[in-house]
A = this chain, B = another copy of it.
Amino acid sequence: MEPTMLEAGLYLIPCQLSDGPLDGVLPAHNVEIVRGIQHFVVESLRSARRFLKKCDRNIDIDALTMHELNEHTDLTDTAAIEALLDPIGRGEAVGVISDAGCPAVADPGADLVAIAQRRGYKVVPLVGPSSILLSLMASGFNGQRFAFEGYLPVDGQARQARLKEMLRRIERERQTQIFIEAPYRNNQLITDLVQHLPSRLRLCVASDITGERQSIVTRTLAEWKHATLDYHKVPTIFLLYQ
């Protein structure tokens, strides 16, 4: 099949969060878009190649240009980063693929998008799985006001201060608080929340989202106090609300 002729622009291509068939979490349209792109900016070459092969096993990966952009990239080398978008100036499409989930949301890519916006290029976000959005939907918490806070501070005092501020925003603003932790500290985080926050608060622990062992459980902190915690090293996201 001939690849689709795409408008010039930056295409943000979500990737799976876990193994399993692509059509479990990605619209068929995304695969059509992927087939029409020759230039990619990816979080890691290895993951991106695997994803592209899964989109279309006949894809000729060697015919594509692929550049890595991740936490090791020297973002001060703006010329090199700007150059990643040059194909768009020539009327071509550039695709961004992160290792898991949606580019530029709790993932690299936002700097590149910012440059594309500054240049007035078209930016096209595609639909795909986001652990933030999926866990919020399934938590039963306020979806009219919410905040994603990224990682909580590791340090005792800064962590305490952040928890206190999160509590304030739950109570005064009815704002659902969403955050993550290094996976090997997941169980400890739950223990910390139980210890330092009012036991009436509800905590949603969402782990292995879209995976075979997906578990999204909302309980009060009083209930979590007596739960068996087996989230060690499992990708997990946390949500708090009253």
Chain B nearest Cβ from A11, distance in angstroms: 10
Look across to chain B and name the residue whose beta carbon is closest to the beta carbon of A29: B24
A110 contacts B142, C-beta separation under 8 Å = yes
A218 contacts B117, C-beta separation under 8 Å = yes
The yes or no answer to A238 lying at the interface (CB within 8 A) is: no
The yes or no answer to A26 lying at the interface (CB within 8 A) is: yes
Chain B nearest Cβ from A78, distance in angstroms: 14
Q: How far is the CA of A185 from the CA of B110 in the complex (A)?
A: 29
The yes or no answer to A150 lying at the interface (CB within 8 A) is: yes
A138 contacts B150, C-beta separation under 8 Å = no
Q: Which of B26, B116, B141, B146 sits near A140, CB closer than 8 Å?
A: B116
Chain A's interface: helix, strand, loop or mixed, by majority? mixed
The yes or no answer to A5 lying at the interface (CB within 8 A) is: no
Q: Which of B28, B113, B175 sits near A138, CB closer than 8 Å?
A: B113
B148 contacts A146, C-beta separation under 8 Å = yes
Interface residues of A in 70-103 (CB under 8 A from B): 102-103
- Measured CB to CB, the residues of A under 8 A from B are 12, 21, 23-29, 102-107, 109-111, 113-118, 123-125, 127-130, 132-150, 175, 204, 210, 214, 216-219
